[in-house]
Amino acid sequence: MDSTGTSSAGADRISWDQIALAPVLQLKFGVTRRTVRLRAQETGTRVRLQFGSEHARLDGRWCDVPGFGSRLELSLTNVGDESIRITRLTFPAEGGIDTYASGIEPRKLCFFRNGYQSWSTARSYRAKDKPLRPWLQLVSLASSNLANLPSNVPGLFSSEMYTVITNRGTDDAFLVGQGPPFDQFFYIKLNLYRQADRESYFELIYDFGRKMVMPGETVGLGAIHFARGRTHQLIHRYFREIAMRASPRLPRANVHGWCSWYYYYTKITPRIIRRNLDALRRARDERGARIDFVQIDDGYQRAVGDWLSLTPQFEGEMERLADEIRGAGFSPGLWIAPFVATRSSQLLTIHPEYALRDEHGRRIVAGFNFFWPGRYYYGLDLTNPRFEEYLRKVIRTIVGWGYTYLKCDFLFGACLRGGTHHDLRLSRAEVLRRGMQTIREVAEATTSERVFLVGCGMPLTTGIGTVDAMRVGPDTGGYWIEKKGRLLRTGAMVGVRNAVRNSIVRGAMHRALWLNDPDCLMLRTSGTRLSSAQRRTQINAIALTGGLLLYSDDFTALDDEVLNEIGTIQRITNDCFAGRLIPLDMMTHELPSVIYNTAGYLGVFNMSGRRATIEVDGSYLLEQAALVCGVWQAPYHRGSRLTEVWNGTTLDLQDEPVRIGPLGPYESLLFSQQTP
């Protein structure tokens, strides 16, 4: 690159000259919001950008990322003599989208939405699709981001952290994504117009919440990545760039375990835990079942928020149970929702000042949960010094009991939209990151053992570097989908369908940002509303992801036939842990049907309630696998003979598309690829 910014980078590079940026700053003055346009300043070079106003200066620098694309690094400085409170920085990319998508017909364009947090909808949309917004705001609270809701309008799409936009006809794609340090939430909005007289355009948005910036203070923003390429290659390159720059926590081995939730829900007792502990020990000793941890889920505490006030059954039992779990050869695990509390909790009754409040002093509802007394729960202000003291005491106590695997749930409650935190100098994202850093700091200071943190209900970017594993989908369940999901119009409704979809389309995050948690696998064949085909599809999909392998059954009730499946499930999951996941048709179907793991496994899924024939393009599969493995140097098997792992039937992949089926409703096949 020369001094003017001229570069000879390849076709994956986005030309800086063609990107028209027109930054707009939104500032908060009391309860009013003011919009300030930042005007371009001459810098004498195309590499450096500068925009300014009486309040702030925005500095930017373009650079090439070899083998990937371009990166715009940004910082914002308060140039006034008073503090400012920033809500948003927006780039209406007024040059339209032709820079990225020239030649793509709108009808062939697909947009990938990565939702806000673990449970939020992640899927692709065609231009004609309507990204549904739930009827009730209460549903959106726990499933989306009120600051970036789905539009409910065809062609108006939004994503968080990153998006990839693909030409379905050619698989040519471009990606826009946020880079470290992820101290602000980042949204990408596409306004796609099919009318010739209206120009489609992007908006790129940094969400600060209400962060206060002092005079002369400079705030670093996460870089913006721009790149062109093939869909799956782009996605995996993007996550590799983050892995190289953000210092994520990446355990070297996968984790297997048992969780009480999806069989017992809140109706747990020490006796139930002990019965399953004995059964799990027998499954390990007699069947070779690998169980690393046993996790006690929701139900041991009197109320959410009152973590040290236990139900009568668990009073005096927590430390004893941890000792028994460890004595059986497993690590003790515990569920906690540290950043929310129910309105009936003693915590909020005695300390109402701990609740996160809006600018008018009203505490902010975080959601509604049928399982919890009082139903409604509220976000907590992690920056209140007295609450932080309480949080430290809770973590010190439960880790002192012996629990070194902590599933931290409902974490979005720490950074709700509109919250006015005690510490005004933190953004929404920084508040949650600080809370998780506090938990890890206290936990690791309390024990000499390694502490394993799982994030759940967590805005994704805040988990990079703070959690070991991340739930990447909504709750599963003993059913395909709750029917009220259609009535409430949310893709985050609980059930196997949506949990599997999110875990598949977010598969590239696994072993790049953390270990993916696809949620629990339910082995049982009775006491479930899943058909045998749906049960098998759940097993095949979870194993293919190579993520955490968690069981949630009454192990004392599982018969020999079911227990004998564990060995095969473990083998496939452990093999796939080393590979990289490629949902080949994720940009053409909401529910991918052809899913390849580069460790040598191919899943073919009929996700519909009708018989269907699935087409597998062997040439495209092998091409995409080679591209992705070129990014990661992951295992890659090119052999063409495949054997179905459950019934032994074989399949030969060919350059020409192969039609498989017809498959029955919700039926799937999982093939293992044999090397030549």
30-40 confidence digits (pLDDT tens): 989 999 999 99
Among 68-72, 172-176, 560-564, the range of highest mean pLDDT: 560-564
Rounded to 5 degrees, what are φ and ψ at 140? -65, -30
pLDDT of 17 > 60? The answer is: no
Please say whether the structural domain 292-454 has been given the CATH code 3.40.1110.10: no
Q: Is 312 exposed, middle or buried (0-12, 13-18, 19+ CB in 10 A)?
A: exposed
Region 268-285 average pLDDT: 98
Q: Is the dihedral of CA 553, 555, 556, 559 positive or negative?
A: positive
Tell me which CATH code domain 16-245 carries.
Answer: 2.70.98
Kindly report whether the peptide bond that precedes residue 592 is cis, defined as omega within 30 degrees of 0: no
Region 606-633 average pLDDT: 94
pLDDT of 658 > 80? The answer is: yes
127-131, 303-307, 482-486, range with the lowest pLDDT:
482-486
CB 25, CB 56: distance < 8 Å? yes
DSSP string for residues in 387-430 = HHHHHHHHHHHHHHHT--EEEE--GGGGG-TT-B-SSTTS-HHH
Could you tell me the two tokens for 424? 């005004």
pLDDT of 455 > 90? The answer is: yes
Q: What is the pTM of this model?
A: 0.95
- Determine which helix (DSSP H) or strand (DSSP E) holds 492, and give its type and residue range: none
The mean predicted confidence, pLDDT, of the chain is 92
pLDDT of 103 > 70? The answer is: no
Could you say which DSSP state residue 566 is in? H
Region 150-175 average pLDDT: 93
Place of tokens 């992951």: 634
Region 274-301 average pLDDT: 97
More confidently predicted of 7 and 574:
574
d(CA 31, CA 418) in angstroms, rounded, equals: 11
CB 472, CB 425: distance < 8 Å? no
Beta-carbon contacts of residue 476 (< 8 Å; ≥ 6 apart): 262, 494, 495, 496, 499, 500, 519, 520, 522, 538
Region 432-441 average pLDDT: 98
Question: Same topology for domains 16-245 and 292-454, yes or no?
Answer: no
Region 658-671 average pLDDT: 96
Give the pLDDT confidence score for residue 9 in this predicted structure: 43
Reported confidence tier of residue 6, pLDDT bands at 50, 70, 90:
very low
Kindly list the domain boundaries of the chain, sorted by start residue.
16-245, 292-454, 468-676
17-21, 121-125, 470-474, 566-570, range with the lowest pLDDT:
17-21
More confidently predicted of 202 and 156:
156
Reported confidence tier of residue 142, pLDDT bands at 50, 70, 90:
confident
> 616: number of CA atoms within 13 Å, CB side?
27
Closest residue by Cα to residue 505 from 100, 162, 247: 162
pLDDT of 8 > 70? The answer is: no
Q: Describe the crossing of helices 618-632 and 231-245 by its angle, rounded to 10 degrees.
A: 20
Give the pLDDT confidence score for residue 2 in this predicted structure: 33
Give the pLDDT confidence score for residue 250 in this predicted structure: 96
DSSP string for residues in 86-113 = EEEEEEEETT-SHHHHTT--GGGEEEEE
